Amino acid sequence: MKIIISPAKSLDFETKLPTSQFSIPDFLKESSLINDSLKKRSPNELKSMMKISEKLADLNWKRNNSFKLPFNKENARPSIFTFNGDVYSGLDAFSLSTEKISRSQDSVRILSGLYGVLRPLDLIQAYRLEMGTKLSVNGSSNLYDFWSEKITKKLNEELKENEILVNLASNEYSSVIDKKSLKTTMISPVFKDLKNGKLKIISFYAKKARGLMVRFILDNGSKTSEDLKSFNYGGYSFSEIESQKQKELVFIR
């Protein structure tokens, strides 16, 4: 089973790492190309393009201009211990055992606007670049255009025969995958909460639930869609009725 998740805007470069292991991203050449394009943008241009505050624009201008190859443990940090959003709160990577970190390295893939696709132990430097950013790179019209074929091909190379792909990424990120070219079934679990008598997708809870499901898969060595139906972290349970309605695996609480 392979799992895709989104990155996070919030980054943690402070917390002590639970492992000294690391790996190098597969697409650093492409990342460098993208960064070359970003470095040409002034803070004001970044502010407009990314729709961020002046303070964040200044910070990311500095980040873009600090990008440096080669990556090593002194200037970069493993991705799964660096991203710090709601998904990663649910995943709680810092409490993973050595065995489960190794399992995650084989099964979890993080989609990224700058790095394309990352393994959990792949080193990253501080950045902010959402996949939906309208940035033209090397003749491509945007980041989807730049990354789609590369990421889809990479996933296809890594997927074993009959291995499923569990999509726990947001639409913004999962849309980069060319589903017609993907050689396996992609399952996109849905998480709903009961609010005011109705089942709804509540963004904050859904993001955390995606991380909880990643953790569930790593904890239990899940391999099939049937295995996923046992997911019960965070008070969620599989709903046959909602799943039939939505034609996806739906979990409710």
Please state the domain extents for the chain: 2-189
Alpha-carbon distance values, 56 to 44, 51, 63, 134 (Å): 10, 10, 10, 17
Phi, psi of 234 (to 5 degrees): 70, 15
Q: pLDDT value at position 207? A: 97
> pLDDT tens-digit profile of 14-58?
999 999 999 999 999 999 999 999 999 999 999 999 999 999 999
Q: What is the DSSP letter of 200?
A: E
Q: Do 34 and 146 contact (CB within 8 A), yes or no?
A: yes
Helix axes of 98-107 and 203-220: crossing angle, nearest 10 degrees: 110
Tell me how many degrees the CA angle 232-238-243 measures, rounded to the nearest 5.
Answer: 155
Retrieve residue 214's tokens. 């990643």
Single-letter residue type at 42 = S
Q: pLDDT value at position 41? A: 96
Q: pLDDT value at position 120? A: 98
Residues linked to residue 252 through DSSP beta bridges, in sequence order: 192, 237
Task: Report DSSP letters for 59-85, one per residue.
Answer: HHHHHHHH--SSP-TTT-EEGGGTB-S
Retrieve residue 26's tokens. 């597969």
Retrieve residue 244's tokens. 């039939």
Q: Do 106 and 121 contact (CB within 8 A), yes or no?
A: no
Rounded to whole angstroms, the Cα distance separating 238 from 151 reads 30
Q: pLDDT value at position 86? A: 97
Rg (CA), the chain: 18
Helix axes of 54-66 and 43-50: crossing angle, nearest 10 degrees: 110
pLDDT tens digits in sequence order for the chain, 253 residues long: 999 999 999 999 999 999 999 999 999 999 999 999 999 999 999 999 999 999 999 999 999 999 999 999 999 999 999 999 999 999 999 999 999 999 999 999 999 999 999 999 999 999 999 999 999 999 999 999 999 999 999 999 999 999 999 999 999 999 999 999 999 989 999 999 999 999 999 999 999 999 999 999 999 999 999 999 999 999 999 999 999 999 999 999 9
Give the residue among 7, 177, 163 at the shortest CA–CA distance from 84. Answer: 7
Q: pLDDT value at position 184? A: 94
Residues linked to residue 238 through DSSP beta bridges, in sequence order: 251
